[in-house]
Amino acid sequence: MSLTYGDLWRLAHPVVRDFVGGLALGQNGDVPRLAVEPNRQLPEPGADAGAWPPEPGSYDKSGLNIGAAGDLARLGFALTIPSVRAFLLGLAQRAGAHSERALTAVAETASTLVEAAGSSGLTRDELLDV
């Protein structure tokens, strides 16, 4: 496989760099300032997930981050956390359960959960008491 100009453009795009850099921080050892400060503190969930479209980080000509991390850096890093990986893997259906009806049910359930939680106006602690 050879890299085309389109491949190189995608790999050099700031939001792709952010996402891949966040994933890279999930490893042990020293890493350069690829996307976020490598302090390895787990990101806190909350309303600061960013806006649409994701705000990219800024990079110098050598590809190292020179400013604030972009929105997708936090997402890439979050995907390396064991509980997040376990949750996402748990969403994967077993072989043979990928019927259109099953996929629609999963999508509708997720959408309903987001809509109910978002419109409730309840805090995290209040939702836990429900």
Same domain, 83 and 106: no
What's the average model confidence in pLDDT over 99-104? 85
> Could you read off the pLDDT of 33-84 as tens digits, one per residue?
555 555 556 556 555 666 778 888 888 887 777 877 788 888 888 888 888 8
Same domain, 49 and 28: yes
* pLDDT at 95 (0 to 100): 67
Rounded to the nearest 5 degrees, what angle is found at the Cα of 64, between the Cα atoms of 58 and 70? 35
Same domain, 66 and 111: no
d(CA 120, CA 105): 22
Residue in 58, 22, 57 with CA at minimum distance from that of residue 42:
22
Same domain, 55 and 82: yes
Provide the domain limits for residue 113: 93-130
Torsion of CA 121, 124, 126, 127, to 10 degrees: 80
Same domain, 2 and 51: yes
